[in-house]
Amino acid sequence: MNDELKTKLKNLETHLKTNIRGQDHVIPRIVSVLCRGELGLAHPSRPRGSFLLVGPTGVGKTEITQCFSEYLFGPGHLHRFDMSEYQNQSSVGLLLGQSSSEIGLLGMALAKENHGTLLFDEMEKAHPLVLDLFLQILDAGRITLATGETKNLSNYYVVFTSNIGSAESMRMENSTFTTIERTVLRKVDQTLRPELVARITDKLVFGRLGYEVQREICELLIERETSRLRALGYPVLVDSQTLERLIREGYSRALGARPMRNTIEKALQELTIAETLK
């Protein structure tokens, strides 16, 4: 193992905790799978690691996948597929190609790089034939395209996200997280095929983001957006009054941090326009 990889893996948990708020309970488990994968300890004929990330919308499931993928591999190595677009029988053709001359959207993604992360969002919405493909990917670490070409996925991480059990978890405000986790995972077992769930390396339940955590996220997103705007030559300053207003406007119990990002970007960009055109 080279020194660069060793340093990167040592700092991985700190990096994730710095960028992802309110989900510290899942980060060590994610780091464990990633370290095993990067050190070559995972089974050589399967993906480096796989995750099922379950929880309400806007709590960081996709964000943490983007975060670790860019940290380990750099930009452009995360390939995301929204399973709400793959709900009918022809969806397999979209992914793998519909004729012997097509490689499909998954084939196109795999042609770009020989390593990275495959993210399948809202996987419970996929057609059963697509779920069959996931079985092949997780069990054999390969997939055959319509052209007949077989792609090796042993250098990839495979991540599934799902909102299964979210309605139940949102109603259990007074329950311990252990109870919520058990309820959500039971719902997962009732919804998904057991042979698919059994092949996933780790199943992780993300918690709802309370007001104080969303406040931290607001401050983090403001810092990121002001840094981005400064790099473009626009020195934006956010005072305490503006901060409090953005927290109030962006907070959502039901949608998590998703509205917060849109609120902050819109407000700071409008502030930039106003300052620039004075």
Measured distance CA(119)–CA(111) in Å, rounded = 16
Q: What is the mean pLDDT of residues 239-255?
A: 93
Question: Can you give the pLDDT at residue 169?
Answer: 87
Average pLDDT over residues 216-223: 95
At 105-138, the pLDDT tens digits run 999 999 988 899 999 999 999 999 999 999 999 9
What per-residue confidence (pLDDT) applies to 278? 80
Count CA atoms closer than 13 A to 186's CA, side-chain side: 8
**Residue range 28-39, pLDDT digits in tens:** 999 999 999 999
As given in the structure block, the two tokens for residue 88 are: 């009918």
Amino acid at 96: L
CATH number of the domain located at residue range(s) 3-205 in this protein? 3.40.50.300
Q: What rounded mean pLDDT belongs to the chain? A: 94
Question: Has residue 1 got a pLDDT over 80?
Answer: no
pLDDT for residue 214: 95
Distance from C-alpha of 69 to C-alpha of 76, rounded to nearest angstrom: 9
What pLDDT does residue 175 have? 87
Cα–Cα distance between 88 and 65 in angstroms, integer?
A: 26
Comparing 151-160, 163-172, 188-197, 268-277, which segment has the lowest mean pLDDT?
Answer: 163-172
Q: What is the pLDDT of residue 167?
A: 86
Is a pLDDT exceeding 90 seen at residue 246? yes
Whole-number Å distance between alpha carbons of 166 and 195: 22
On whether the CB atoms of residues 120 and 78 are closer than 8 A, the answer is no
Global pTM value: 0.92
For the chain, the structural domain boundaries read 3-205, 211-276
Residue 136 parent element (H or E): helix 128-140
Q: Are strands 49-54 and 78-82 parallel, antiparallel or unpaired?
A: unpaired
pLDDT tens digits, 152-167: 999 999 999 999 998 8
What token pair was written down for 242? 């503006």
Instruction: Look at residue 89 in the predicted model and tell me its pLDDT.
Output: 87
Give the dihedral sign, CA 198/19/208/24: positive
For the CA atoms of 133, 43, 73, 63, the dihedral, rounded to the nearest 10 degrees, stands at: 60
Distances (CA, A) of 265 to 181, 250, 260, 262: 33, 11, 9, 5
**pLDDT, mean of residues 76-91:** 94
pLDDT at 2: 86
Each as own residue / partner, the long-range contacts of residues 37-40 (CB below 8 Å, 24 or more positions apart, any chain) are 37/157, 38/5, 38/9, 38/72, 39/1, 39/9
How many percent of the chain have pLDDT more than 90? 87
What type of residue sits at position 26?
V
